[in-house]
Amino acid sequence: MRLSFPQCHFVLSARWLLAFCLYLCVPIAMAAADPLPSWTEGASRQAIVDFVRQVTTPDSADFVAPDERIAVFDNDGTLWSEKPAYFQLLFAIDRIRQLAPQHPEWKTTQPFKAVLDNDMGALADSGEKGLLQLVMASHAGMTTTEFEQIVGDWLMTARHPRFKRPYTELVYQPMLELLNYLRANGFKTFIVSGGGIEFMRPWTQAVYGIPPEQVIGSSIKVKFELRDGEPVLLRLPEIDFIDDKAGKPVGIHRFIGRQPVAAFGNSDGDLQMLQWTAAGEGRSFVMVVHHTDADREYAYDRTSHIGKLDKALDEADRRGWTVVDMKRDWKVIYPFEPPDSE
């Protein structure tokens, strides 16, 4: 069969028609498949699906133009685990131990001594000041390219103490599905984390499908320098921005420049980001991940030092935000677990 049009001539062969028909069939089959297979049927899952349907239906009063479909996700405790401590702190500790031979003074100086002695009590006693010293000693003093390499090497070799897996496998399967589901519906997905921006960027594309330029986080200052005529960016031991609590809406504004329509968090550090998203004009969706599953992951909320969820839980309750009960709402936690057979 030969079709002829003014500027285009081509042959419709039987093979071509078959290929084209399969091309049409694939999206049809995909649409029919469940995009959220790890989510239990229930209110949380339903709230997600309803929201997405409402904002993507062109004649809906809640329709949001594709350009405006901005979704922001906290990382620690929302997309991957944060126990027994923020993974970035575990990285800093490993790095301090690795650098210790070049710093004999650390044997007698806190907080370094605590790290080398594996004395978590003394480390906790060193407080925020101690933590900052660890971060600067482990995260600054090299070029940005060198730091990316250091993070990459650590992620290849380090293993989680309980699950004996690379940290990048301790991501939540239901949240990976949610990220894909939102993107399939025209959303642009961003990370907005209190964690270090350069600790995340090397792996977020591979693990979450989120490119570096859609990762917002805390940062230290960098300085442009010519080294033997070659430009480098040197990481300085100086805080640039803390992307936590009231810093999160500030970070969103700085990097994205508009209010998200959907926000996902798990702790009081996310509260202002959730408030900022809920305050946007039009329909928005706000979700809090509640860690309720000590068997499969961890259970913690109001009194936890890391990932404390207290005020945000009250506000979620008061304002009708969706609270995900991990034990009830998620069939599986991690990608490496076999899905429940139901």
Residues that bind its own copies in the complex, under the rule CB under 8 A: 3, 5, 7-8, 10, 17-18, 21-22, 24-25, 28-29, 67, 70, 144, 188, 197-198, 201, 205, 211-215, 219, 222-224, 226, 230-231, 233, 240, 246-247, 249-250, 253-258, 272, 275-276, 279
Residue located via tokens 């250091």: 150
CA trace torsion 266, 270, 275, 278 (10° rounding) = -50
List the structure tokens of 231: 């430009």
Nearest approach, Cβ of 192 to its own copies (angstroms)? Answer: 12
DSSP 8-state secondary structure symbol assigned to residue 320: T
Q: What is the Cα–Cα distance from 181 to 175, expressed in whole angstroms?
A: 9
Burial (CB count within 10 angstroms: exposed 0-12, middle 13-18, buried 19+), residue 80: buried
Nearest-5° angle of CA 161, CA 167, CA 171?
120
As a whole number of angstroms, the distance between CA 316 and CA 230 comes to 51
Backbone angles phi and psi of 118, in degrees to 5: 55, 40
Nearer to its own copies, 38 or 218 (CB): 218
Output the DSSP codes for 53-90: HHHH-TTSTT---GGG-EEEE--BTTTB---SS-HHHH
Nearer to its own copies, 122 or 142 (CB): 142
Q: What is the DSSP letter of 338?
A: P
Minimum gap (Å) between residue 331 Cβ and its own copies? 26
Taking the complex as a whole, the smallest distance from the CB of residue 60 to its own copies amounts, in Å, to 23
Q: Quick one: 109 or 205, whose CB is closer to its own copies?
A: 205
**Rounded least distance, CB 316 to its own copies, Å:** 16
**68 or 301, CB closer to its own copies?**
68
Q: Are 236 and 259 in contact (CB under 8 A)?
A: no
Complex with its own copies: residue 96 or 210, whichever CB lies closer: 210
CB nearer its own copies, residue 164 or residue 226: 226
Q: Which is nearer to its own copies, 64 or 93 (CB)?
A: 64
| Least distance (Å) between residue 87 CB and its own copies | 19
Q: Could you tell me the smallest distance in angstroms from the CB atom of residue 12 to its own copies?
A: 8
User: Shortest approach of its own copies to residue 32 CB, angstroms?
Assistant: 8
Largest CA distance in the chain: 85
